[in-house]
Amino acid sequence: MRAVVCKSFSGIDDLDLGDMDAPKPGAGQILVDVHAAAVNFMDCLMVAGKYQLRPQTPFVPGTDATGIVAAVGEGVTRFKPGDRVACSNWTGAYAAQTIASELSAAHLPPVVDFETATVVRHCYGTAYYAFVERAKLQPGETVFVSGAAGGVGLAAVDLARSLGARVIGGVGSQEKVGIVRQYGAYEVIDYVHEDLRERIKALTDGKGVDVFFDVLGGDVFMTMTRLMNWGGRMLPIGFASGDIPSVPMNLTLLKNYSIVGVFWGAWAERYREASIAADQQIFEWIAQDKLKPHVGAVFPLEQFKTAMGTVLDRTAQGRVVLQVRT
């Protein structure tokens, strides 16, 4: 089958579009004819050997796919051939076919197209786990989202707004301000050209934010350690800046705020039923038009390097998607 192949952990430039043996579903697995695949930041890290998981080479990158079930393995009860699905695995999405556990897949409502659906499990799943499960976000609380124009960040803005929060978005350029406002942020801070500390203080009357959803790490995270409200929750999602911060713990003591880790993929594997319920809830909200996943760019599979480069240099607004089948 046609697939993107990673033969060594040397980055996107050394990836090839070639042939791999088609996978076969084992017990509890589904085989999916892939129509679209999301390009995630962690996919780019994984092929460079910079992610915590290092698959055996050669492997097919890509964690999130959508398509139609082609076959099911022994014991599968949730799906049958012909079902439209969104599914996740640590690898395998950038290919004509992929496999996934039936517990890591969700039925697609008829009104949700394949490209849009690639946004949901990783981006909205992360946001749901962060706000609903970890932060216990309450209506009226103030949320600050860093990297707010990216796939995960924009999903966080959209979901936090729908949950009744007062959302502040953080972006790295003026070009990204508009889309973040469109998705529900009442204010947007360009922290490359504005003073993040002063803007947060002004927007919160000096109290700080209740919940900080962070995909960057680095300087933005460290600045926010001094801008949390009493009883706030800092949610580290990732470290797209490349800098993993170390926090002076006296700061959390002074305002009784918490630092709460958010690793959606590990949670989804460990708590399958809760993850399935979250998927169903999110897709229901999307079908009801309460959430509006944003696909910023769609590339044919042949242009996978361009698509991954767009994610790596953080110029994308919303999710970048590979179209595998037309």
Structure confidence by residue, pLDDT tens digits, 6-19? 999 999 999 999 99
What pLDDT was estimated at residue 233?
98
Q: Which of 162, 183, 179, 186 is nearest to 285 (CA)?
A: 162
As a whole number, mean pLDDT of residues 151-162 equals: 95
**Does the structure show a pLDDT above 80 at 326?**
no
C-alpha pair distances (Å), 79 with each of 84, 100, 105? 9, 12, 9
As a whole number, mean pLDDT of residues 83-108 equals: 95
Check for a shared fold between 2-119+295-323 and 123-264: yes
Structure confidence by residue, pLDDT tens digits, 53-91? 899 999 999 999 999 999 999 999 999 999 999 999 999
What pLDDT was estimated at residue 52?
81
Structure confidence by residue, pLDDT tens digits, 175-204? 999 999 999 999 999 999 999 999 999 999
Are 226 and 195 in contact, with CB atoms under 8 Å apart? no
Reduce the DSSP state of residue 259 to 3 states and report it. Answer: strand
Structure confidence by residue, pLDDT tens digits, 32-41? 999 999 998 8
Share of the chain above pLDDT 70, in %: 100
Structure confidence by residue, pLDDT tens digits, 215-243? 999 999 999 999 999 999 999 998 888 78
What pLDDT was estimated at residue 296?
87
As a whole number, mean pLDDT of residues 298-320 equals: 90
Q: Which residues of 17-47 are buried (b: 16+ CB within 10 A; e: fewer)?
A: eeebeebebeebbbbbbbbbbbbbbbbbbbb
Domain 123-264 sits in which CATH superfamily?
A: Medium-chain alcohol dehydrogenases, catalytic domain (3.90.180.10)
Q: Report the CATH architecture of 2-119+295-323.
A: Alpha-Beta Complex (3.90)
Domain limits of the chain? 2-119+295-323, 123-264
What pLDDT was estimated at residue 275?
93
295-300 and 319-323: which strand pairing?
parallel
What pLDDT was estimated at residue 317?
80
| Partner residues linked to 288 by β-bridges | none
